Structure 1
Amino acid sequence: MGRYSRLRRIRRLDPQQDFERIYRWIIHYEFPRDYLHGTSIAFLRDYGVPRISRLLDHTQEFERAGQKRYDDTVLITYEMVRAGMDSEHGRAAARHLNRIHGRYRIADEDFRYVLATTVVGPKRWIDRYGWRRLCEQETESLALVGRRMGELMGISGVPDTYAAFERMHDDYEREMFAYDPANRRVAAATLRIMAAWYPAPARRLASRTALAVLDEPLLEALGFEPEPRWLRAAVHRALRVRAVLIRLLPGRPERFPRTPRARTYPFGWTLDDLGPHWAHSRPTTPLQDETPSEQGRATGQLSPPSP
């Protein structure tokens, strides 16, 4: 397959109708690694908000089982879109995600921001360091997947265009970014997870490389000093060289989609594996567009009797 063959196909599609198909091409074929890099940066951006990082710090999940927490967050998104978000499996993944979040009191504006980072973060990373920029159809598909995900999670006021997601993302950060000790603790735990992917002698450099791609408002909110200018320039050049080399490769064949490498699950996973251990003791609740009987049929369970 030619390097731009899939892009030509994407440009002929209508994102309003084909956004899930386009999204799967982005994450499995066109930009699988870059999408994950952008998502990793999105995780770090969440920690610039004290209200979010204090909750994460309180759960201690990144300290106790950081790699699993990272893997589960990535994988549950893939599970929601794997067979389509409105498929039986996609809706089961959404109910499971809602069950996990249901334990905590989380404001809708925080939910909207975290969702926005998963739309804006990958887009900005790919445009800066990918082998090409996202086209208009791909950009809007990211936003439409984000919107549908927000609907399944029962979040109100979710934007329906990329431009609206981006405005909300940037406005929220200007208002809410502030330093808090919890920000640094959760960010440091996440950086340790990322550094552990590399051999021991390279781990310090890996952490510094991750910090070198972060902007100064985020670094300030996390409590980290900016890396030296020479290191930031070197990392930027290395990533741009990588993009050029990838551009020279042929497109990934349809029969070889790239899926996330889940270090927690070397032999594969099921939806029930994802999330903290206590999640499965909590009942699931119907999605906003479901009745209890519809949920029961989808999960193979009987709905509770009416009072």
Structure 2
Amino acid sequence: MGRYSRLHQIRRMDPSRDYAEILRLISQYEFPWDYRQGVGVAFLRDYGVPRISVLLDRTQEFERAGQKRYDDTVLLGYEMAADGFDSERGRAAARHLNRIHGKYSIPNEDFRYVLATTVVGPKRWIDRFGWRPLCAQEVQALVEAGRRTAAVMGIEDVPDSYAGFEELLEAYEARMFAYDPANRRVANATFRVIAAWYPRPLRPLIARFSLALLDEPLLAALGFRPQPRWARNSAEAALRLRARCVRRLPARPRRFPSRPQPRSYPFGWRLDDLGPHWARNRPLEPLPDERDGAHDGAGTSTR
């Protein structure tokens, strides 16, 4: 398979119908590492909002079990999308995610913002550091996946275009980004998780590398100083060199998709393993479209 064969395939697809398959191709074949980095930066942006980080800090999940909290977030997203958002697997993951969030009183605008980061974050990262930019069909597939996530989580007033998601994100951050000690505590806990993936002598370098890739408004909200120009330039140069190398590699074979390899679950996981232990004892609520009678109960797979 040629390096651009999947791009040609994706350009022939309809994002409004094939968004789940396009998302699978993006996240498992075309940009598996870059997609995860984009989602990771998206989560860091959430910590720049005191109302969000104070809630996360209060749960102490990052301090007590930061790696599990990180893995659970990645795996819940994977479970929702792996077989398609309307598959039984995807809808079961959505019910479980709603059960976890149901304990807290979270404003709709915060849900909208967090959702926007998962649409805007991967596109910005891939366009900046991926081996090629996303095409129009891939961008719209991210939008459609975001809108489908909103539907099953009951998030209201969601944009229908990438420009709308980006505008939502930027307006929210201009209004809500502010420093709070909880921001820094949750961010530090997350950076400790990331640094622990590498040998101890490399950890200070990894921390500086990670901070060098963040924009100044986010750094200020997290309580970190802007990194020196040499660190920013070095980090960006390293990632662009990686992109040039990846561009010369053959396409990932269809029989070898990239799937999560969570450190917290070396022998696999079940849906009930994900999230806090107390969530298992809370009742599962129907999804919004099940309450409205709009879903026909089909569990079609797109894998």
TM-score, normalised on structure 1? Answer: 0.95
Question: What SS class does the counterpart of residue 289 from structure 1 fall into?
Answer: helix
Question: Contact 2:123 / 2:134 at 8 angstroms: preserved in 1?
Answer: yes
CA shift, 1:159, in A, is 1.4
CA shift, 1:79, in A, is 0.2
| Residue 286 (structure 2) aligns with | 286
Distance 1:293 1:276 in 2: 30
CA shift, 1:294, in A, is 11
| Residue 58 (structure 1) aligns with | 58
Question: Contact 1:285 / 1:292 at 8 angstroms: preserved in 2?
Answer: no
| Residue 173 (structure 2) aligns with | 173
CA shift, 1:292, in A, is 10
Distance 1:293 1:16 in 2: 22
Distance 2:134 2:166 in 1: 15
- Structure 1 outlier segments of 4+, above 2 Å: 291-295
Distance 2:234 2:171 in 1: 30
Distance 2:70 2:217 in 1: 23
| Residue 42 (structure 2) aligns with | 42
CA shift, 1:267, in A, is 1.0
Summarize deviations over 1:194-219 as a string: whole Å, max 9, x none.
Answer: 00000111111111110000000000
TM-score, normalised on structure 2? Answer: 0.96
Distance 2:187 2:227 in 1: 16
Which has the larger displacement, 49-58 or 81-90? 81-90
Relative to structure 1, is the Cα distance of residues 294 and 160 closer, same or farther in structure 2, using a 3 angstrom cutoff?
closer
CA shift, 1:118, in A, is 0.6
CA shift, 1:291, in A, is 4.2
Question: What SS class does the counterpart of residue 48 from structure 2 fall into?
Answer: coil
CA shift, 1:89, in A, is 1.0
Distance 1:160 1:166 in 2: 11
| Residue 258 (structure 1) aligns with | 258
Relative to structure 1, is the Cα distance of residues 293 and 233 closer, same or farther in structure 2, using a 3 angstrom cutoff?
closer
Amino acid at match of 2:209: T
| Residue 197 (structure 1) aligns with | 197
Question: What SS class does the counterpart of residue 290 from structure 1 fall into?
Answer: helix
| Residue 304 (structure 1) aligns with | none
Distance 1:218 1:107 in 2: 21
* Structure 1 residues not aligned, in runs of 5+: 299-307
Amino acid at match of 1:116: A
Summarize deviations over 1:30-61 as a string: whole Å, max 9, x none.
Answer: 00000000111111100000000000000000
Question: Contact 1:286 / 1:292 at 8 angstroms: preserved in 2?
Answer: no
CA shift, 1:240, in A, is 0.2
| Residue 6 (structure 2) aligns with | 6
In the comparison of the two structures, how many residue pairs are matched? Answer: 298
Question: Contact 1:131 / 1:243 at 8 angstroms: preserved in 2?
Answer: yes
| Residue 98 (structure 1) aligns with | 98
Amino acid at match of 2:61: E
Distance 1:111 1:100 in 2: 13
| Residue 188 (structure 2) aligns with | 188
| Residue 301 (structure 2) aligns with | none
Percent identity, aligned pairs only, is: 66
Distance 2:2 2:260 in 1: 24
Amino acid at match of 2:144: L
